[in-house]
Structure 1
Amino acid sequence: MISAVRTNKPLRGFTLIELVMVMAIAGVVMAGAVGLMVFSSDERALRNASGEIELMAKRARTISILHQTPYALEFRDGRVNLLPFAQAGRDEKKLSRSRGVVDEPEPSGAASENRWFKLQDGMELSIRHWNSDKWLATAKNNVQVWRFDPDGLCEPISVRLTLNKSWAMDTFHPLTASISDSELEAR
């Protein structure tokens, strides 16, 4: 004899506790991703500024060798300028005509090339000269100059960039004007 067995199939679906747990885990993952994106944006901005300064240093070294004229990187509040050493440290008003790339002869007849790079808003720059422990911050009336000689040499300096609580520090090589040591801390 065959008996009929009645089976109850369990209802398929999720309980309220399971749904709440999944939503909580998804919220934690999203919060971590947003936090990581914020940190990486500071890191990206610091790396970009550091790379731009290195490119300008290499360009200043090359132009100085080619033109046989000393060139300089001038660190002003919020901006880095590449210009002939004779023009470095001048008044801001006189410098305003040389924004961007200019390939016009100086009054002395030598060719000059002026470039500039603006730092991101809120980014602070300070430099440390060779054989010194003191960091010199750039301020509105405090201009720091890094000289590049026609023989290809420059002073080995360190540049520190700070954005919010993140910072990057680069030490430049005196023969190549490239970064020889770099540190970065993104918070």
Structure 2
Amino acid sequence: MHFLRLRPEPPPGAVSRAGGFTLLELVVVLVIISFVVGLGVMSFDGVVQEGELRKPVLEFKDLTAEAVRRATLYERPQVLIFDSAGMVMPLRMRRESAGAVMRVKRFTLPPGMSLMLRRFGSDKFAPAEGQRLIVSPSGLCEPLTARFQRGQSWFEVTLDPLTGAAKEERMVVQ
């Protein structure tokens, strides 16, 4: 009786190749996997840098929105003062036995980040330190553009003069 053989037997003395992968196939697969992992790490690094840039921008937008809210609520201009550490909004004076104490709300830049401002009508950014932004009692403010920069990456936000909210945002992450 003949049995049907699916795989022919190798001739005597020949080396049979059991199912497996060659070294070349394994190297090609490892190169492809390392390339995909490298792309994932680079993309994750970009997301981390974007988050580091976005956090101070959100704090800046919150502080300017608070200034607009306070200006319209109290019907008094609000001043945002830019210093070397970030930005300060004086809230009110409080009298104590030792004298008057100023309460402030502060926005602090993360280490290694710089803040530059471009005023209305200007085409260049200047360091923010020593500059001010005044929000009128009607809520109007100057259309200021703030650039938060760390290394070659930056995030720009332009304030809408009618609402004090962010009108435009642009970002470059490198």
Q: Same fold (TM over 0.5)?
A: yes
Give identity over the alignment, percent.
Answer: 28
Give 1:124's aligned residue: 114
TM-score (norm 2): 0.81
Quick check: 1:126–1:137 contact (8 Å CA) kept in 2?
yes
Q: Which structure would you say has the larger Rg?
A: 2
Give 1:92's aligned residue: none
Deviates more, 1:65-74 or 1:123-132: 65-74
Q: Distance in 1 between matches of 2:64 and 2:49?
A: 23
Quick check: 1:42–1:163 contact (8 Å CA) kept in 2?
no
Residues 26-72 of structure 1 show CA distances to partners (whole Å, capped at 9, x for unaligned) of: 11111111111222212112222212111110100111121222212
Closer, same or farther: CA 17–174 of 1 in aligned 2, 3 Å:
same
Gaps of 5+ in 1: 85-102
Highest relative contact order (Cα 8 Å, sep 6+), 1 or 2?
1
| Aligned residues between the structures | 163
Closer, same or farther: CA 3–56 of 1 in aligned 2, 3 Å:
closer
Q: RMSD across aligned C-alpha pairs, in angstroms?
A: 2.5
How much does 1:137 deviate? 0.8
TM-score (norm 1): 0.76
**1:145 matches 2:152:** no
In terms of fraction of residues, the more strand-rich structure is: 2
**1:28 matches 2:35:** yes
Q: Distance in 2 between matches of 1:20 and 1:79?
A: 52
Closer, same or farther: CA 61–132 of 1 in aligned 2, 3 Å:
same
How is 1:90-169 mapped onto 2 (pairs within 5 angstroms)? 105=94, 114-138=104-128, 142-169=129-156
Quick check: 1:78–1:121 contact (8 Å CA) kept in 2?
no
Gaps of 5+ in 2: 10-15, 97-101
Q: Distance in 2 between matches of 1:161 and 1:31?
A: 28
